[in-house]
Amino acid sequence: MLNDPVKPDSYEVRRQVRLQTIDFDYPLPSEAIAQTPAEPRDSARLLRVEDLSDHRFSELPDLLDARDLVVVNDTRVRAARLRGRRRSAGAGSDVQPGGKVEALLLERKDDGTWEALVRPARKVRSGQEIDFAGLKATVLTDPVEGRVVVRLEAPGDVEKAVADHGEVPLPPYITRALADPERYQTVYAATPGSAAAPTAGLHFTRPVLDRLESRGISVASVELRVGVGTFRPITSEAIEDHRMHSEWVSVPQETAAAVAEAKDRGAAVVAIGTTVVRALEARSTGGRLEAGSGHTDLFIRPGHRFRSVDRLVTNFHAPRSSLLVMLAAFMGTSWRPAYETALERGYRFLSFGDAMLVDHSTEAAGG
């Protein structure tokens, strides 16, 4: 359990100095970290922060206004973990198996190469070849903080070979294997591209989506390809010194139009997860959400002016994480009593944990 952190009275006061990472710390017992997902999906607990009332996720449609617009991230987690061996040249033209290598594919680049994390990085060098099941990788760069660029080759389609032979990666704090890898995908997951799931969406079921529709609540989608940087804690003393990871985001024209229409009629835009918040806010300029795609390294922290998102459904995040900083920007210091209440009531935390429904506080950070 982490030490009890400093509790600032107001981020408005602290913005006059540099916000410290310890401001976003809290004690998280290991037994509060969910190791398995709720079954069924929509039986996960849901804390409505407005009145600290306890619900089940299946009740979400009844907790929203019939005019609201729900926005989900329909990315699909790629089977991005590959296990193989380095090639080492033997006598003549023979190739002898070398040491074991594990790779986590992070992103396919425009030129067809891949950025990947490799382990053990100290054993990998530019020009080396690695044999994975059904795939051959040629390392094109020396490792930098464990990252390399590789070229993958397969007898057929590379993406299919990755899907056939790779494993869906789980967060590092999940120590139990999933019996069904699909349980780490949302029911509306579409295009593979993420190294991690947009976990707030894991609670949705088809009946919940049908109930939203029956209440007249529209659902729109964005795509944000979640990177492993989402699990990286902030190690700098001041959050402003944290280097935010970059992720690819796409907002369809239909979603931009739906958000604009919701805003015009005074309805709330409900983001399902922090990935949707980042996607919508990254593409919001000049008071409007703009359709389009590209990479963003937006770091949402206290002081951010939210332009698109009014309400948020999110899981409970790790101490000292950029996701918790984003939550604090959205709801102000009230995140702390909400988290304390959730821990006292036995809510489950992190990726396979329970969720909370939060309204944006205009006093939180810049209105």
pLDDT for 117-157, tens place per residue? 999 999 999 999 999 988 999 999 999 989 999 999 999 99
Q: Residue 302 above 80 pLDDT?
A: yes
Is the pLDDT confidence value at 365 over 70? no
Does 90 score more than 60 pLDDT?
no
Q: Is the pLDDT of residue 275 over 70?
A: yes
336 and 306 in a single domain? The answer is yes
Q: At 366, list the tokens.
A: 């810049």
> Which percentage of the chain shows pLDDT scores above 70?
91
Question: Among all chains, which residue has been given the structure tokens 């948020």?
Answer: 312
Q: Which of 56-70, 90-104, 230-244 has the lowest mean pLDDT?
A: 90-104
Residue 260 lies in a domain: yes
Q: Is residue 286 part of a domain?
A: yes
Considering only 10-14, 136-140, 143-147, 277-281, which range has the smallest mean pLDDT?
Answer: 10-14
Q: 16 pLDDT band (50/70/90 cuts)?
A: very low
Residue 296 near residue 336, CB atoms below 8 Å: no
In this structure, is residue 33 part of a structural domain? Answer: yes
* pLDDT of amino acid 314: 98
Residues 213 and 302 both lie in one domain? yes
Give the CATH number for residue 228. 3.40.1780.10
Do the domain assignments include residue 188?
Answer: yes
Q: Is residue 364 part of a domain?
A: no
Q: Tell me, yes or no, whether 207 and 334 share the same domain.
A: yes
Q: 175 lies in a domain? A: no
Out of 140, 165, 190, a domain closes at 165
Q: Are residues 306 and 240 in the same domain?
A: yes
Mean pLDDT of 294-318: 96
Domain end (from 165, 200, 217)? 165
* C-alpha to C-alpha distance for 121 and 124, rounded to whole angstroms: 5
In this prediction, residue 97 carries a pLDDT of 59
For residues 108 and 64, state if they share a domain. no
Four-residue CA torsion sign, 253, 256, 261, 267: positive
In a domain, 367, yes or no: no
Report the pLDDT value the prediction gives residue 7, as an integer from 0 to 100. 42
The alpha carbon dihedral of 125, 129, 133, 134 has a sign of positive
pLDDT for res 363: 60
70 with 88, same domain: the answer is no
Euclidean distance between CA atoms 145 and 294, whole angstroms: 24
At residue 356, what are phi and psi to the nearest 5 degrees? -140, 150
Tell me whether residue 172 is in a domain: no
CATH number of the domain residue 136 falls in: 2.40.10.240
SS3 state at 88:
strand
The residue range of the domain holding 245 is 11-77+180-359
Beta bridge partners of 219: 70
Domain count, the chain: 2
- Please tell me whether residues 240 and 317 are part of one structural domain: yes
Q: What is the mean pLDDT of the chain?
A: 91
Specify whether 291 is located in the same domain as 202. Answer: yes
* pLDDT at residue number 133: 86
* Average pLDDT of the residues in 50-77: 97
CB 70 within 8 A of CB 219: yes
CB-hemisphere CA count at 13 Å for 183? 16
Q: Please report which confidence band the pLDDT of residue 362 belongs to, taking 50, 70 and 90 as the band edges.
A: low
Residue among 263, 272, 249, 291 at smallest CA distance from 57: 272
Last residue of a domain, one of 165, 198, 216: 165
Euclidean distance between CA atoms 259 and 216, whole angstroms: 15
- Of residues 140 and 231, more confidence is placed in 140
The verdict on 151 and 194 lying in the same domain is: no
Give the pLDDT confidence of 149-160 residue by residue, as tens digits.
999 999 999 999
Output the pLDDT for position 64.
98
Q: Assess whether 193 and 281 both reside in one domain.
A: yes
Which token pair is 90? 């033997």
Highest mean pLDDT among 9-13, 55-59, 361-365: 55-59
- At residue 17, does pLDDT exceed 80? no
Residues 206 and 337 in one domain: yes
Beta strands 45-48 and 53-56: pairing type? antiparallel
Q: Are residues 324 and 205 part of one domain?
A: yes
- Would the pTM of this model clear 0.75, i.e. be above it? yes
The residues that bridge with 270 in the sheet, in sequence order, are 70, 311
